Structure 1
């Protein structure tokens, strides 16, 4: 832990802000940078130091962690003007915990290597709850010796840490995770609609099926929220769509048909079309309500947001 005492953290979104705080609680000296300055001020209240840019942050960090929205965002904060690689000293460990393209990850790792910086990709699963509780699942790709050195950081943020292979392997496994998340979620909303139309009590259906072979994390965590009308984002539709786009792009490169994943992406696009892009992914239920002419969400939260140009 002493070798990586000073940690730079870039990206204070729904998950990043809790992850940075958990590193601070574990005894690391944390410096943060975020495009939205107000989120940096929130971090300063619990003890984080503030940087003026990713370059500035990297100058004083033994390890730099990034968790930002999309591939272009990662490329900008790492390799752009005033990016991490402009300030990082040789021997710095760069850990990208965003979910981005495996190919882009390998390209960035090559640029980092040329600067004497070791990069590993470590996307996460577990949502806002896992980030707060420090119980994230972390999928790691990179050199085994570098991964081992970074392990104290991972253990401060997650419960399950798996070294999946060389650089890019973490992103590939995360893509597999997102395929499963999407298809499990579709199963949940279809089961809820089927139960409702059949006149079965939804809470009892959930109680029974979570204990059976059809049980899943999505069923146990999202189904109870749906029937209470809670569509707040632990993970938003917008970011799930970004992840599924990456999956389908990689599948095209591999000449691999992923019919179920493509269907989920199109159904979530319907949620976006009605203004639900910032809702949680469980808002897929609203599409099922329309398709099946069935009411599942409590009536006081039933109506979809109006489309652009419609009256709300």
Structure 2
């Protein structure tokens, strides 16, 4: 693999382990984050720190942004200190954030006008997937740009697929979040149901996982629900944002998402009552409350 200068903007739950994996693959990685402690963690792993976005991207061959929402991405790439104004012509910009598809397509156009190549490449797999470098990555943009990015993306992901033009990656990610939210919701209901009947829930999840009911959601979130351990791997607040994207995009497309609408309201309820910092498996907490349980 050719070694490249890579800037990573956003060193949070997902961005930091992705940056570490790129360091371990031999790339020169420079990170920027709003909090210095995350930058220090990257430096401790052999990466480098920057004092600003402009500083991080000035020598980069590849820029990866991994920030929470559409306004955050726009803020990182536009303006005098942003990626577009300070990266070299021809730099490959990969946005791994989960944002609105229309915003992704719009910013890709602005990137091209600035002389950059742009891909929207949101990821799925949670914190552990980022740590293990086995994320699923759905990529929108030009096929030639995807080909140029594929080596880099294969360092942080296991399933890396080009799904269409700019904005397509974000559309597929929205569908992913719809599926995950509904699965988490029904898993929470199933576990509450099993507990109400005094079933051996560990045994129940084992056998359910081996049949048609099995899923990665069950594998990764079932035990967290049993343990009432909702330390965040993916926060409810972020899933709330993603369900807003799904709801809005589905309305624009004229697509009915009745199950998604219900789960979106349940997630919103938890976020609005102060539980947005919990892992999205924390939906189990609300199901129990609605059932009159603890």
When normalised by structure 1's length, the TM-score is 0.92
Separation of aligned partners in 1, 2:267 and 2:230: 14
How big is the shift at 1:236? 0.5
Separation of aligned partners in 2, 1:158 and 1:42: 21
Separation of aligned partners in 2, 1:48 and 1:201: 46
Q: Residues 170-226 of structure 1, C-alpha deviation per residue, up to 9 Å, x if partnerless?
A: 111101100100010011011011112223221121111111111111111111121
Q: Which residue of structure 1 aligns with residue 138 of structure 2?
A: 139
Q: CA RMSD in A?
A: 1.2
Q: Does structure 2 conserve the Cα–Cα contact (< 8 Å) formed by 1:179 and 1:261?
A: yes
Q: Does structure 2 conserve the Cα–Cα contact (< 8 Å) formed by 1:123 and 1:138?
A: yes
Separation of aligned partners in 1, 2:64 and 2:168: 17
Q: Which residue of structure 2 aligns with residue 230 of structure 1?
A: 229
Q: Which residue of structure 1 aligns with residue 27 of structure 2?
A: 28
Q: Residues 110-159 of structure 1, C-alpha deviation per residue, up to 9 Å, x if partnerless?
A: 11101110100100000000000001111111111111111111111011
Q: Which residue of structure 2 aligns with residue 59 of structure 1?
A: 58
Instruction: Give the total of aligned pairs.
Output: 294
Q: Which residue of structure 2 aligns with residue 219 of structure 1?
A: 218
More displaced 10-residue stretch of structure 1: 191-200 or 120-129? 191-200
Separation of aligned partners in 2, 1:225 and 1:109: 38
Separation of aligned partners in 1, 2:60 and 2:17: 19
3-state SS of 1:274 partner: helix
Q: Which residue of structure 1 aligns with residue 39 of structure 2?
A: 40
Q: Which residue of structure 1 aligns with residue 111 of structure 2?
A: 112
Separation of aligned partners in 2, 1:275 and 1:114: 42
More displaced 10-residue stretch of structure 1: 76-85 or 196-205? 196-205
Matches within 5 A, 1:1-312: 1-2=1-2, 5-295=4-294
How big is the shift at 1:274? 3.2
Q: Which residue of structure 2 aligns with residue 303 of structure 1?
A: none
Q: Does structure 1 conserve the Cα–Cα contact (< 8 Å) formed by 2:240 and 2:271?
A: no
More displaced 10-residue stretch of structure 1: 47-56 or 17-26? 47-56
3-state SS of 1:140 partner: strand
Q: Does structure 1 conserve the Cα–Cα contact (< 8 Å) formed by 2:139 and 2:160?
A: yes
Q: Residues 72-124 of structure 1, C-alpha deviation per residue, up to 9 Å, x if partnerless?
A: 00000011330001111111000000000110011101111011101001000
More displaced 10-residue stretch of structure 1: 157-166 or 48-57? 48-57
Q: Does structure 1 conserve the Cα–Cα contact (< 8 Å) formed by 2:92 and 2:116?
A: yes
Unaligned residue ranges in structure 2 (runs of 5+): none
Separation of aligned partners in 2, 1:289 and 1:84: 45
Q: Residues 231-283 of structure 1, C-alpha deviation per residue, up to 9 Å, x if partnerless?
A: 11110101111111111111121122211111111111222233211010111
Unaligned residue ranges in structure 1 (runs of 5+): 296-312
More displaced 10-residue stretch of structure 1: 66-75 or 36-45? 36-45
Q: Does structure 2 conserve the Cα–Cα contact (< 8 Å) formed by 1:196 and 1:294?
A: no
Separation of aligned partners in 1, 2:293 and 2:46: 49
